[in-house]
Amino acid sequence: MARILLVDDEKMARTLYGDYLRASGHTVTAVCRFEEVREALESAEYDAVVTDLILPGADGMEVLRYTKERYPGIEVVVITGLDKVDPAVRAIKSGAAEYLVKPVAPEALQHAIRRALTTRDLLQENASLRQYVSLLEMGQRIATTLDRDRLAIAVSSALEAQTWAGGVILLLRDGGPLRLHGSAGLEPELVSKLEPLLSAQLQGVRAPRTLEGLPVDHTHVLTFPASDGELLLGQIVLFFSDAPPDNLTEVASYLSRHYALALRNLGRFAEVEDLAYMDDLTHLYNMRYLHLALDREVKNAQQTEGTFSLLFMDLDHFKAVNDTHGHLVGSRLLVEVGRVLKGCVRERDIVVRYGGDEYVVLLRNTDSGGALKVAERIRRTMENHHFVPREGISITLTTCVGVASFPEHARDKGSLLDMADRAMYRGKRGTRNVIYMAAMDLEATPAERKVAG
């Protein structure tokens, strides 16, 4: 049954309507002035207010407006002796659930209260349903996000919206210590200060926890692990200045599960992406990845006025290896060539199997002079290397290398690749085991610089 605040300046009306409502099982508190209404609403919880429209020093409309503004979950039924349309319309527009004209029969008042409470319950149920639907949508959005930065934003925003947290920190575990993934609602300096403290306290923690002793103004700090089975993928840390909401554990646990699912999907997507950009045989990068890397290098070089170079290589007389020793030996030789090339360049440079027995090396922050030195190192190493000794044979072979640099020889990806390729083929048409620098003018092949072993 409901708790009802009855407001009427007539003692007879308070007694009569109070008896009607108590007969239906409701708990009734009766007052006669607006000041008493405010005191009553502040000191206790009510489900409904029944108010007369005419009160001393105020009116029922003021009671209605005050109640709906300060306590929107309370329904208001207005009773008046004025049998007019205008007051009724104003009352309904101001949020009254019912408008009754005196004299009011017991059944009418009881029915009005019952209908008002039913309306309130439906509205609360709809609000709860909308929040539940919103939570489902946020979980779905999180679980299907395959960009790490966007995931941090999506999770932080969802937690802020659904838990009313004053601050959020997300920590990610990539096989090592927990590190910052994202944050919201906190100053960057504070986040940087908290990251090592939280990482140390939450490493390996697999259950929700309340943290104390952190250098923050917030009175409540709670954490929720993002786990995939037994695998801990990350931690969610929520900061509250006031008491957390009653449904915090349910909401935060739900979102943490979807955060973990998204992190697992990110890991799987990265594995698939790696496979898409790796050469099946040599496990070097493939041509697809080369084009992505070149797009990025061209953009960076344009913005910073930097430089980079390409080495385009083709093995000399590789067909004879297949004809003499078979394709299995030839394949193993190609794998070994990849290892030799990677040993001749820096960690940050990119070695690519372009196709067949062709390879490309992208030398970051390297001009044509530096590229020639690397190309000569590769040419000499290849010439002196003995391949596939585990097969009981020792194969030696050489390579032709074409060199082209950005922006010296070309200012776009396609032209740069073409010039390095053409420089390499100039060596193939000649003595082989040679390095050629790309020409500024593609038709001016005599301008190409030759470095032979």
Cβ(385)–Cβ(315) below 8 Å: no
Among 308, 297, 310, 289, residue whose Cα is nearest residue 401 = 310
Instruction: Flag whether pLDDT at 369 surpasses 80.
Output: yes
Least confident span in 96-110, 160-174, 268-282, 395-409 = 268-282
Summarize the confidence of residues 139-152 as an average pLDDT: 87
Instruction: Return the top range by mean pLDDT from 89-93, 265-269, 306-310.
Output: 306-310
Determine the Cα–Cα distance for residues 451 and 186; give it in Å rounded to an integer: 59
pLDDT tens, position by position, 376-396: 999 999 999 999 998 888 999
Instruction: Flag whether pLDDT at 453 surpasses 60.
Output: no
CATH fold group of domain 287-452: Alpha-Beta Plaits (3.30.70)
Query: Interior CA angle at 299 toward 293 and 300, to 5°?
Result: 90
Summarize the confidence of residues 331-345 as an average pLDDT: 95
pLDDT > 70: percent of the chain: 94
Joined together, the tokens standing for residue 441 give: 């003018």
Instruction: Return the top range by mean pLDDT from 91-100, 111-120, 408-417.
Output: 408-417
pLDDT tens, position by position, 237-247: 999 999 999 88
Cβ(419)–Cβ(409) below 8 Å: yes
The pLDDT confidence band at residue 442, using thresholds 50, 70 and 90, is: very low
Residues of the chain with CATH 3.30.70.270: 287-452
How far is Cα of residue 295 from the mean position of the Cα atoms in its chain? 25
CB atoms within 10 A of CB 244: 19
Least confident span in 69-73, 363-367, 371-375 = 69-73
Cβ(319)–Cβ(297) below 8 Å: no
**Which CA distances in Å does 328 have to 90, 325, 334, 388, 391?**
91, 8, 10, 11, 10
pTM recorded for the entire structure: 0.48
User: Long-range contacts for 8-13 (Cβ within 8 Å, ≥24 apart)?
Assistant: 8/32, 8/51, 8/52, 8/55, 8/79, 9/33, 9/52, 9/54, 9/55, 9/56, 10/52, 13/52, 13/79, 13/102
Query: Taking all residues of the chain, what is their mean pLDDT, rounded to a whole number?
Result: 88
Q: What b/e readout covers 276-315, taking b as 16+ CB neighbours within 10 angstroms?
A: ebbbeebebbbeebbeebbeebbeebeeeeebbbbbbbbb
Residues in the chain: 453
The pLDDT confidence band at residue 6, using thresholds 50, 70 and 90, is: very high
Note the maximum CA span of the chain: 119
CATH class of 146-269: alpha beta
Determine the Cα–Cα distance for residues 354 and 444; give it in Å rounded to an integer: 26
User: Long-range contacts for 442-450 (Cβ within 8 Å, ≥24 apart)?
Assistant: 442/418, 448/423, 449/372
Determine the Cα–Cα distance for residues 144 and 159; give it in Å rounded to an integer: 17
Q: Which CATH architecture has domain 3-124?
A: 3-Layer(aba) Sandwich (3.40)
The pLDDT confidence band at residue 272, using thresholds 50, 70 and 90, is: low
Q: Write out the chain in H/E/C secondary structure.
A: CCEEEEECCCHHHHHHHHHHHHHCCCEEEEECCHHHHHHHHHHCCCCEEEEECEECCEEHHHHHHHHHHHCCCCEEEEEECCCCHHHHHHHHHCCCCEEEECCCCHHHHHHHHHHHHHHHHHHHHHHHHHHHHHHHHHHHHHHCCCCHHHHHHHHHHHHHHHHCCCEEEEEEECCCCEEEEEEECCCHHHHHHHHHHHHHHHCCCCCCEEECCCCCCCCEEEEEEEEECCEEEEEEEEEECCCCCCCHHHHHHHHHHHHHHHHHHHHHHHHHHHHHCECCCCCCECHHHHHHHHHHHHHHHHHHCCCEEEEEEEECCHHHHHHHHCHHHHHHHHHHHHHHHHHHCCCCCEEEEEECCEEEEEEECCCHHHHHHHHHHHHHHHHHCCECHHHCCCECCCEEEEEEEECCCCCCHHHHHHHHHHHHHHHHCCCCCEEEECCCCCCCHHHCCEEEC
Determine the Cα–Cα distance for residues 347 and 300; give it in Å rounded to an integer: 19
Summarize the confidence of residues 250-271 as an average pLDDT: 86
Residues of the chain with CATH 3.30.450.40: 146-269
pLDDT tens, position by position, 172-215: 987 778 999 999 999 999 999 999 999 999 988 999 999 999 99
**Which CA distances in Å does 368 have to 108, 314, 363, 400, 425?**
95, 19, 10, 17, 18
| pLDDT computed for residue 274 by the predictor | 65
CB atoms within 10 A of CB 318: 18
Instruction: Identify the residue with better confidence: 442 or 319.
Output: 319
Least confident span in 9-18, 55-64, 439-448 = 439-448
Least confident span in 114-123, 215-224, 367-376 = 114-123
Residues of the chain with CATH 3.40.50.2300: 3-124
